[in-house]
Amino acid sequence: MKHTDFISIHDYSAKEIAQLFALASHMKRSPRRYATALKGKTLAMIFEKPSLRTRVTFETGIYQLGGQGIYLAPADINLRKRESVYDVGKNLERWCHGIMIRTFGHDICTGLADAASIPVINGLTDLEHPCQAMADFMTIREHRGKLKGLKVSFLGDGNNVANSLMQAGAKTGAHVWVASPRGYEPTIEMLETARADAAKAKLGAEIIFTNDPSEAARGADVIYTDVWASMGQESEAEARKKIFRPYQVNAALMAQAKRDALFLHCLPAHRGEEVTDEVIDSSQSVVFDEAENRLHMQKAIMWMLMK
């Protein structure tokens, strides 16, 4: 693969996505083979948003590959206030071998990639969450043995997770359904981009949007949800609880999916809101397999870009 950054799944071909799944799975099975793969390499980890999974999996991952990670908290840089995105990129390229950024605006991530000559990995922006979606589809593949032809249904806000899931489905042949309340849909641009990617990949994927949670859940192989109010939307949380209530993943909704349907959640979960305990703690739930696979998938991405 001849990529310099990992900003969006859209940037990668279906073949390259399949290669990343294969690499991540091999790293998971044979971690010792990669114990010195990035020896002497340093990953700068910029966090404008807090995180449990993103920080631990990237920091542990670079360590397991023989390198080291440097955690940079919001106050350490204060992007676009204390220092420009361009200047941060030009500084870090002199000291480090890669950058992971977890931020708000997608333009911050792309701007950093434009500025820095070293690889930039999108750890999350308000528009996309590609590492999460790759780990999600890796998890589904492990449990179902395939991705092509599966119905993967996301219920909730048409947010960054939904956007990246659509892109991953397009590149793997999975049918991705997104069910959101009116006014909270993915943008037309993101839907059309994913559909164009699906047509180009020629794996038969369909990207479908609906306002009806039951329609999305019916016959699904995978039910996926996320918090109703993401970071930066705290002021909307109470209003969103009322609007999104019909999209809660509970036993009744899971009963509309296939009997052996998997339940996924990118975490953290607000139990009793977007998902009930009986679902997230059930035998159908693979949320902790999903969280673990963030480590393996991100190790594959780091190795691909930084080796």
Is residue 294 annotated as part of the catalytic site, yes or no?
A: yes
How many C-beta neighbours within 10 Å does residue 83 have?
Answer: 12
**Cα 146 vs. chain centroid, distance in angstroms?**
19
d(CA 144, CA 171): 17
Please pick, among 106, 175, 240, 294, the residue that the annotation labels catalytic.
Answer: 294
Are the CB atoms for 27 and 300 separated by under 8 Å?
yes
Please pick, among 129, 240, 265, 296, the residue that the annotation labels catalytic.
Answer: 129
d(CA 5, CA 21): 17
The DSSP line for 132-191 is: HHHHHHHHHHHHHS--TT-EEEEES---HHHHHHHHHHHHHT-EEEEE--TT-SPPHHHH
Is residue 132 annotated as part of the catalytic site, yes or no?
A: yes
Is residue 266 annotated as part of the catalytic site, yes or no?
A: yes
How many C-beta neighbours within 10 Å does residue 259 have?
Answer: 7
Question: Does the N-terminal peptide bond of residue 50 adopt cis geometry, omega within 30 degrees of 0?
Answer: no
Please pick, among 126, 197, 226, 240, the residue that the annotation labels catalytic.
Answer: 226
For the record, the structure tokens of 139 come out as: 């998890």
Please pick, among 10, 53, 102, 296, the residue that the annotation labels catalytic.
Answer: 102
The maximal CA–CA distance of the chain, rounded, in angstroms, is 55
Please pick, among 5, 157, 266, 284, the residue that the annotation labels catalytic.
Answer: 266
Cβ contacts of residue 149 below 8 Å, gap of 6+?
A: 173, 174, 175, 204
Please pick, among 53, 106, 131, 132, the residue that the annotation labels catalytic.
Answer: 132
- Whose structure tokens read 């434009």? 114
d(CA 211, CA 185): 8
Are the CB atoms for 207 and 191 separated by under 8 Å?
yes
Are the CB atoms for 118 and 93 separated by under 8 Å?
yes
Catalytic residues: 102, 129, 132, 226, 266, 294
